[in-house]
Amino acid sequence: MFDAIVLEKDSGGATQAAISHLDTKRLPPGNVTVRVEFSTINYKDALAITGKAPVVRKFPMVPGIDFAGVVEHSDDERFRPGDAVILNGWGVGETHWGGLSQRVRVNGDWLVPLPAGMSARQAMSIGTAGYTAMLCVNALERHGLRPDSGDVLVTGANGGVGTIAIALLAQRGYTVTASTGRLAESTYLTALGAARVIDRATLSQAGKPLQKECWAGAVDCVGSHTLANVCASMKYRGLVAACGLAQGIDFPASVAPFILRGVTLLGIDSVYAPRAERVEAWERLAKELPVSVLAANTTEISLAQACAAAADLISGKIRGRLVVNVGG
């Protein structure tokens, strides 16, 4: 038996979330069973738990798009009982039971080894948000961004992706500007490595299709008008890594930045990213992200507190990362 958050639809179509005590026989198909130690509450998890968006494709569902734990049983020759593993994405928490559970059963293709020297708690303090931030930075650098290219903008700077992106970029020597709706957190953002903090209102409204050249690179976690304005204010041949939609899924932009300034918009998908890119991202996170950043960036909660925390995350009350001690 194990505990898990289970999402159900009530008679009115609303999502109901509660902790249930389940038999392992109810676990979905898979060739590796993992005892979960830590999971997280990401924005997508919060949408699923609160029912604010149709994240979940079928019910009942256990949310949680990532987890870290220890293999208990494996029919996959790459994994043995006792191996420490991480999972991000692959539809867990959406179409396949996810990580806000003391036990999971998944496809071994979805797992990557926990890097040496990294604990399960540290891995989930980084979580899908931090892993996505690393994918963004790697993509920008693969396309030629360097610290001497110019300033780099990070939008949604107080969120899980934004905070880790700032820390990673600053650690690599970039001059980072953080865009946030919570200017009271400016001291925190500068402590992470931001050289400057700006109000998100300067980017969140409809703007001109081509604006003053400001940024050599950008990590956008917001979408909508913000992403359009970011693209419009990139320097010649600037690079934008887009990974989020906190403001909206729309993109009310023009082709002007792309055909007049040669701007490149890089889409970052963390859900189905190739295994080699995942392993590279986690290895670099283990080596490059200061442990002090994780300590300052993380709030630990219990499985019983996760549903309430999801509502707070949607309301913009959470700074940084929420790590869930699953207690499996």
Report pLDDT for 4. Answer: 95
SS3 letters across the chain: CEEEEEEEECCCCCEEEEEEEECHHHCCCCCEEEEEEEEECCHHHHHHHHCCCCCCCCCCECCCCEEEEEEEEECCCCCCCCCEEEEECCCECCCECCCCECEEEECHHHEEECCCCCCHHHHHHHHHHHHHHHHHHHHHHHCCCCHHHCCEEECCCCCHHHHHHHHHHHHCCCCEEEEECCHHHHHHHHHHCCCEEEEHHHCCCCCCCCCCCCEEEEEECCEHHHHHHHHHCEEEEEEEEECCCCCECCCCCCCHHHHHCCCEEEECCCCCCCHHHHHHHHHHHHHHCCHHHHHHHEEEEEHHHHHHHHHHHHCCCCCCEEEEECCC
Report pLDDT for 64. Answer: 94
Domains for the chain: give ranges and CATH numbers.
2-114+290-325 (3.90.180.10), 128-267 (3.40.50.720)
Report pLDDT for 158. Answer: 87
What global pTM score does this model have? 0.89
Report pLDDT for 262. Answer: 98
Report pLDDT for 78. Answer: 95
pLDDT mean values, one per 10 residues, the chain (328 residues): 91 86 93 96 90 88 96 96 96 94 96 95 92 97 97 93 94 96 90 95 94 98 97 98 93 96 97 93 93 82 92 79 84
Report pLDDT for 328. Answer: 53
Report pLDDT for 290. Answer: 84
